[in-house]
Amino acid sequence: MAFRPIALHHASRLVNHGPTVLVTTAHGGRRNLMAAAWSMPVEFSPPRIAVVIDKATFTRELAQASGRFALVVPGAALLDASHAAGSCSGREGDKFDRLGLAPATGPVLGLPVLEAGCVAWLECRLIPEPHTQDAYDTCFGEVVAAAADDRIFANGHWDWRADNADLHTIHHLGGGTFVVGGRSVAARPLD
């Protein structure tokens, strides 16, 4: 693995293409993760993101108690584990252990972040927005640290190739079905 810090002004590029993400949290000696299909950048400077975290989840409980969460972008190699992370609760036990995932510790907020099988992570401070959180389950976070695997994301850009296919991002279509990203096309000017 070759994870490198990402300049925060490029952090939005890690999620602007709509990948499924894993939301990780920790508080009071407990940690958890869940899959989320709805996340997006909402501001460049400072970098801010939005993610839907249902109020009934253990992940949301820990995020609200701690005021922090991380988004981890899994690659195709973690498709099955990502689906499983979104299909069971962490209230009954440590989901990282159950799924065989060994997190590292984020450098700023100390959150669990995954690198093996993943392409990027973003540590975020929760921005309290009670109405939006309560009415729509949408949580906002300010990105305080980000890193990506430079085999697929370097110098602020994605590099989709056949030799890094296990790192291509996954996109949930519903009902346990995903699409794997992997082809980028540059737009041509229409003069």
Render pLDDT for 12-50 as a digit per residue (tens, 0 to 9): 989 988 999 999 999 999 999 999 999 999 999 999 999
pLDDT at 154: 93
Ordered structural domains, the chain, with CATH = 3-180 (2.30.110.10)
pLDDT at 115: 94
Amino acid identity, position 183: R
Do 29 and 60 touch, CB atoms closer than 8 A?
A: no
Distance CA 8, CA 125 (A): 14
Do 22 and 84 touch, CB atoms closer than 8 A?
A: no
Tokens representing 96 are 């990282």
pLDDT at 143: 98
pLDDT at 16: 87
| pLDDT tens figures, 83-96 | 999 888 899 899 99
User: C-alpha distances in angstroms, 24 versus 65, 154, 179?
Assistant: 13, 24, 22
pLDDT at 128: 94
pLDDT at 132: 95
Tokens representing 132 are 């939006």
Closest among 148, 146, 124, 127 to 138, alpha carbons compared: 127
Beta strands in 37-182 (DSSP E): 39-43, 48-52, 68-74, 104-105, 112-113, 118-127, 138-149, 153-154, 157-158, 170-174, 177-180
Q: DSSP secondary-structure letter at 163?
A: G
pLDDT at 161: 93
pLDDT at 88: 87
pLDDT at 155: 92
Residues of the chain with pLDDT under 50: none
